[in-house]
Amino acid sequence: MEIATLPFLRLLQLADSALPIGSAAHSYGLESMTVEEHLTVAQLEDFLRIYLAENGVLESTFCRLGYRLAELTDSTQYMEQWVQLNTRLSAYKTARESRTASATLGRRLLQLVASLEDAAQLYQALASAKREHTDNHYSIAFGLVGAILRVDEDVVVLAYLQQSLTGLISACQRLLPLGQNQASGMLWHLKSSLIEIAEQSERASEHPDELMLFTPLLDIGSMSHPLLDTRLFIS
């Protein structure tokens, strides 16, 4: 596929962990799992592969659905569907901390890009969510921003999955005795899984009502996170 250079470079910037929206402050329950010794370095690569097969499909499917909202030309319809899509994803996130983390990052991403790009859809998304007291989830916001930048949908989804995996591995480097070379190896080995997840999300996006999620250990870890004696992360 042909990639427009400037939009692609801008997408890479937005997918960087150094983007000032606070993504490095969240572990999505991983901190509790490591403290309670439910996750070790030896288990990590297999755990991440399973995590991607479950949560990664869900999030990347909603990333695609967010991307496709940019095609709507009726602003009223667009804002209604934005609220509906985010409300639906909130329902999948049973753990308050992870749900709040996703909503915070999504809102900050929209606000940041709105300060860089003159795009009415970004302001409309923020305004409609605020009016309806709805979240702006990160995966959906990332998809919308990718569409506004006019980057290919598959590229946007892969970029989202890549930065998600990078963020999880980075969190584990602060929580576990995981060296840089070992972390890089995991990220390298899991690239094929990212492609498979992206392909699955394409199929899932045609029947979003059939999506399911089962991540009890992570959900419990996220819920118990506020009870930890010391914490490195917000979630």
Counting beta carbons within 10 angstroms of the beta carbon of residue 45, is it exposed (0 to 12), middle (13 to 18) or buried (19 or more)? middle
Report d(CA 160, CA 149) in Å as an integer.
Answer: 14
- Residue 149 DSSP code: T
CA-based nearest residue to 42, from 31, 53, 34 = 34
Q: pLDDT of 76-100, one tens digit each?
A: 999 999 999 999 999 999 999 999 9
Do residues 81 and 72 touch, judged by C-beta distance below 8 A?
yes
Q: For position 150, what pLDDT does the model report?
A: 95
CA-based nearest residue to 136, from 62, 212, 28, 214 = 62
Do residues 208 and 64 touch, judged by C-beta distance below 8 A?
no
Rounded (10°) angle between helices 180-189 and 41-51: 30
All domains of the chain in start order, with CATH: 5-16+23-220 (1.10.4190.10)
Do residues 27 and 170 touch, judged by C-beta distance below 8 A?
no
Residue pLDDT tens, the chain, 235 long: 556 799 999 999 999 988 999 998 999 989 999 999 999 999 999 999 999 999 999 999 999 999 999 999 999 999 999 999 999 999 999 999 999 999 999 999 999 999 999 999 999 999 999 999 999 999 999 999 999 999 999 999 999 999 999 999 999 999 999 999 999 999 999 999 999 999 999 999 999 999 998 888 888 888 999 888 889 898 8
Rounded (10°) angle between helices 57-69 and 191-204: 60
Q: For position 229, what pLDDT does the model report?
A: 86
CB atoms within 10 A of CB 12: 13
SS3 22: coil
CA-based nearest residue to 84, from 210, 208, 214 = 208
Q: What is the model's pTM?
A: 0.95
Amino acid sitting at position 203: R
Q: For position 3, what pLDDT does the model report?
A: 64
Q: For position 217, what pLDDT does the model report?
A: 84
Q: For position 174, what pLDDT does the model report?
A: 95
Q: What angle do CA 107, 85, 222 make, to 5 degrees?
A: 60
Cβ contacts of 118 within 8 Å, gap of 6 or more: none
